[in-house]
Chains A and B, each alone.
Chain A
Amino acid sequence: MSILERSASRPGSTPNRRSRQNFETWSWFFMRISGLILFFLALIHFSLTHIFNDVTTTTVSFVAKRWANPFWRVFDWLLLTLGLLHGSNGLRFIMDDYVRNPRKRAALKAFMYSLAVALFILGTITIVTFKGNFAG
């Protein structure tokens, strides 16, 4: 029996909950796929900026040299996007589990999702607009 069938036929599920379970199934699948991609993106990124280069040498000119190649801009933008989506969805599980008051939970979720969207926009602007023609 596949996971899809199992979650749809779970006892106590009502037609009302079906669409939500469908969303949760996609959420479950997204976490596995994005997690697998992030495994490489995040570990490569950390190795390059903390292990193979010392953190004090990752200056503006270091970034300028790296981002001269569009590959690294795309790499970092994917890390930004998938990291925020994977992280926000993980935080959603945590908020569902520990913030039991429905109004507090709704308010906290609204705040955290807005923060994630704002930082996604900020990060995207940084990656797209950085010119790197500074000295130093």
Chain B
Amino acid sequence: MSPESTLYKGKTGQWAFVLHRITGFLVLMFILLHIVDVSMLNFPKIYNEIHALYGNILMRLFEVGLLFGLVYHALNGLRVIMIDFFPGSIKNEKSVFYGIFSLTILLTIIGGVIILRPFFTGSVH
């Protein structure tokens, strides 16, 4: 078998699945880290120092990435549930994917502006 014949050229469903996996994995990795940083609550000085660090631009960009992963995984999860529980809805699968992906981008931009703005203006809401 040549490599070309084994290459699976999927459509929107395949891309939705790949992105679901990657975002799910990354969100889980963040949760594991987040449990450790929150456990510093009983050492308030360390906890507050870590959270001051979250305010720098690199961590803020990371938070925007987390927002994208979280929103995409959440919305695509609803799409998966829709297809599983209402098999007839499979015929709308493609437009639903474009819909949730656009909504993910829109919410990431809105949330991203809110998350990044304090770094540039210096004021915190």
A122 close to chain B: CB less than 8 A: yes
A57 close to chain B: CB less than 8 A: yes
A-B contact count (CB 8 A): 98
A50–B25 CB distance below 8 A: no
Q: Which residues of A contact B (CB under 8 A)?
A: 3, 32, 35-36, 38-39, 42-43, 46, 50-51, 53-60, 63, 80, 83-84, 87-88, 90-91, 94, 115-116, 119, 122-123, 125-126, 129-130, 134, 136
B35–A39 CB distance below 8 A: no
Q: A55 to chain B: closest CB distance in Å? A: 5
Q: B97 to chain A: closest CB distance in Å? A: 17
With A35-B77, A35-B81 already in contact, the answer to whether A51 and B111 are too (CB < 8 A) is: yes
B42–A129 CB distance below 8 A: yes
B74 partner, pick from A43, A115, A126, beta carbons under 8 A: A43
Neighbouring A residues of B55 by C-beta, 8 Å: 54-56
Bound: A51/B118 CA distance, A:
11
Neighbouring B residues of A119 by C-beta, 8 Å: 32, 35-36
B115–A32 CB distance below 8 A: no
Closest residue on chain B to residue A53 by CB atoms: B125
Give the 8 A-B CB pairs with smallest separation, nearest first: A87-B28, A56-B55, A60-B44, A54-B124, A134-B44, A35-B77, A123-B35, A55-B54
Closest residue on chain A to residue B46 by CB atoms: A60
Q: Which of B3-11, B63-71, B88-96 contacts A (4 or more CB under 8 A)?
A: B63-71
B36 partner, pick from A35, A88, A122, beta carbons under 8 A: A122
Bound: A101/B32 CA distance, A:
25
Neighbouring B residues of A87 by C-beta, 8 Å: 24, 27-28, 31
Closest residue on chain B to residue A59 by CB atoms: B48
A94 partner, pick from B21, B39, B48, beta carbons under 8 A: B21
